[in-house]
Structure 1
Amino acid sequence: MKNARNNELSDRRGAAAEAKAALLNAYRDAKDKAEPTRLAKQAERQAVAAAREERRAERERVKLEERAQAEAAEAERQAAAEAEARADAEAREAADKDRIARVIADEAARKAARDLRYANRKARKS
Structure 2
Amino acid sequence: MKNTRDNGLSDRRKATADAKKLLLDNYRMAKEAAEPHLEARQAERLALATARDERRAARERAKTEEREQALAAAREAAEAATAADRAEADARLEAETSRISRVIEDEAARKAKRDQRYAERKARQR
Which residue of structure 1 lines up, in the alignment, with residue 109 of structure 2?
109
- Going from structure 1 to structure 2, the CA distance change for 1:36 and 1:2 (only over 3 Å counts) comes to farther
Partners of 1:122 and 1:93 lie apart in 2 by: 43
Instruction: State the match for 2:98 in structure 1.
Output: 98
Q: What pairs up with 1:31-50 in 2 under 5 angstroms?
A: 31-50=31-50
- Give the percent of matched residue pairs that are identical in Structure 1 and Structure 2: 62
| Per-residue deviation, 1:109 | 0.5
Q: How many residues of Structure 1 are paired with residues of Structure 2 in the alignment? A: 126
Q: Tell me the CA shift for residue 38 of structure 1.
A: 2.1
Please, which runs of 5 or more residues in structure 2 have no aligned partner? none
Counterparts of 1:2 and 1:48 in 2: how far apart (Å)?
63
Q: CA RMSD in A?
A: 1.6
For residue 108 of structure 1, report the CA deviation from its aligned partner.
0.3
Q: What displacement does 1:105 show?
A: 0.4
Following TM superposition, by how much is the alpha carbon of 1:72 offset from its aligned partner in structure 2, in angstroms?
Answer: 1.3
5+ long unaligned stretches in structure 1: none
The ranges of structure 1 where at least 4 consecutive aligned residues each deviate by more than 2 angstroms after the TM superposition are: 1-4
* Partner residue, 2:18: 18
Rounded to whole Å, the distance in 1 between the matches of 2:55 and 2:39 is 24
In the aligned structure 1, how far is the partner of 2:3 from the partner of 2:102? 129
